[in-house]
Amino acid sequence: MANKLATPVYGNYHGYYNKRPSTQDPRLELLPAALFRGQRVLDVGCNEGWVTCEIAQTLDAKRVVGVDIDDTLVRAAWKHRRSVWSQQGPGADSLETPSSDDTTHGGRKRRRLSQSEDEAGFTIASQGAPDYFPASCEHMFGALPIPAAAPHEKAADVFPHNVAFRAADWVNSGIPDDAEGYDVVIAFSISKWIHLNCGDEGLLEFFRRVHQVLSPGGVFVLEPQEWDTYGKARRMDPKLKENAKSLKLRPEDFERLLQDIGFGPAEHLGSAGEGGKLCI
């Protein structure tokens, strides 16, 4: 486990998602729409949890666990979860005309305003629109508290209760959530950092561990970084520079290695960012 480091030798950049869209990560848009629906998902190298929360909130996942080696980033991920909860707008079902003045959405009571109730004289965009907590309110008053899960059997499957974060060196130690297995494991832009820190054998161990925790028929979504990006990374730290000298494997070998471990043929989905070509 690592605290915030002056040099992000694990790819644990702080503020990483400030350079990316705050919603609808383009990498997720490349994936089949139903991939996460009702599934248990592991996000390895989750950073501040932006992708993790998006899968949990908008892609209908049953359970999403984000793990990162940097405990400072994991604390930021828990904070981001609360921020996303505070700012989420109404669902499609919430836009229907309610039968009473007060309705509950996702465990939180929300007041419906009609045009006649707008005493300030402003025009409400659509009659019955909920007054949810916009970003400006969070900046002024802080995030909303997350209520306890509703007492019914599917409560844990609803955002924000269906997402959690763990601080761990997952390649070497794993987490308790692994015992139940996962239907989908995603690894966005982390293969380079595992490779440089742990060597060829460490990268192979990572692939083996993913295979072990996936349920039968499960899917591994990998965004490998290209070899030419290793050069800049290894100059960040003497250890990485030394480790790089002994690397024999290359990103173009990964598909063969995965099949040797027991994965099926890869499906290439294209590129949507700095990491590399997404494949499952």
Backbone angles phi, psi at 65, to 5 degrees: -115, 125
Q: Is pLDDT above 50 for 113?
A: no
Q: Return d(Cα 126, Cα 43) in angstroms, integer.
A: 38
Q: Which residue has the higher pLDDT, 245 or 111?
A: 245
Q: Which two tokens stand for residue 124?
A: 């409400």
Q: Tens digits of per-residue pLDDT, 4-36?
A: 456 889 988 776 666 555 567 889 999 998 999
Question: What is the structure's pLDDT at 106?
Answer: 41
Question: What is the structure's pLDDT at 139?
Answer: 62
Percent of the chain with pLDDT over 70: 69
Task: For the chain, give every residue range classified as CATH 3.40.50.150.
Answer: 16-88+147-279
Percent of the chain with pLDDT over 90: 57
**Full-model pTM:** 0.78
Q: Tens digits of per-residue pLDDT, 156-209?
A: 788 899 999 999 999 999 899 999 999 999 999 999 999 999 999 999 999 999
Which residues are CB-neighbours of 220 under 8 A, at least 6 positions away? 184, 185, 187, 210, 211, 214, 258, 263, 280
Q: Tens digits of per-residue pLDDT, 235-244?
A: 999 999 999 9
Q: Which residue has the higher pLDDT, 199 or 1?
A: 199
Which residues are CB-neighbours of 143 under 8 A, at least 6 positions away? 79, 82, 83, 85, 86
Residue pointed to by tokens 């486990």: 1
Q: Does domain 16-88+147-279 have CATH number 3.40.630.30?
A: no
Lowest mean pLDDT among 71-75, 110-114, 247-251: 110-114
